[in-house]
Amino acid sequence: MLVYKAGLFTLILGAGLISAQSLAVSLSSNCSDTLQSLLASPDAACMNLSPFLSLAIGAEKSIPVTVNNWLTGLCSSGTCSNGSLAAIVANVTNGCAQDLSSLGIDTSSLGGQMTDIVQQVYPTARRVLCLKDASKLCATQTLENLENVIGSLGSDDLSLVNLLGNIQKVTSSNVTNLACTNCTKEAMNIVTQDFPDIVSQSNIVQPVQNICGASFTDGNSPDGITETAAAGQFSIKLDSGALKEYTNLAVLLYFILAYLFAPISFV
């Protein structure tokens, strides 16, 4: 349940970081406004969300490149504080209450649970996202492996029609080449270490072993995989001149996003 709720929360958050023209979702006006402001918010600076703007405005069309740029910045800086995470969750749950409700999350009944869930899951998710195989981020490697099956991954592939077509290509391919890599094995190790009860209760181990073999869940770290998430807490250290430039950039970013989200069909 913990991972499920965090996944739905992330779905809403991610949906707002990509242009409405490329992603087949419909956000409420309140949620759209909330997510626009979030990209320029100091509370979300630790998330390094700016690469998604390049994808949204079409300056960068490759999803693997966008994800690589995002994670390179996220992993090289410190972690988000619990205060920043709480502020992000509060903004999204309040501004996107209607949208989360449509996904089965009643924010009024959750109280502080969503904040607790995100704060619990975030460190593990960051560790997994910042895994590297030799010199390449595992997330980038996985997306490039996916491209070998379905072709180039761009913003157009986020439309519902293209998503369904790509899913069919993946299911008809040799899924072990995508699912049973050293990267995914170490990701499984980390999730199992941090949430052993959830993994054991989810009945996921046996299906994974059926696909990838018993050794895939033995807990041993594969060679060449390293954790690269920087230690310490994220902070912005700016002098007065840089602070003025940062503020101007944030204002500009907000208005660009306001323009981008204007065509959304609100519900």
Model confidence pLDDT, tens digit, residues 2-42:
544 454 444 445 544 444 334 444 678 888 788 778 877 88
Tell me: the pLDDT tens digits for 175-233?
787 889 999 999 999 999 999 988 887 778 888 898 899 999 999 999 999 999 998 88
Q: State pLDDT tens for residues 86-116.
A: 999 888 888 888 888 887 777 777 667 888 8
Is there a contact between 188 and 208 (Cβ–Cβ < 8 Å)? yes
74: pLDDT confidence band, cut at 50, 70 and 90?
very high
Q: What is the pLDDT of residue 251?
A: 45
Burial category of 13 from C-beta neighbours within 10 Å (exposed 0-12, middle 13-18, buried 19 and up): buried
Q: Do the beta carbons of residue 64 and residue 143 sit within 8 Å?
A: yes
Spatial separation of the C-alpha atoms in residues 94 and 85, rounded to whole Å: 14
CB 9 within 8 A of CB 89: yes
Closest C-alpha among 107, 100, 112 to residue 31: 100
Check if the beta carbon of residue 181 is closer than 8 Å to that of residue 222. Answer: no
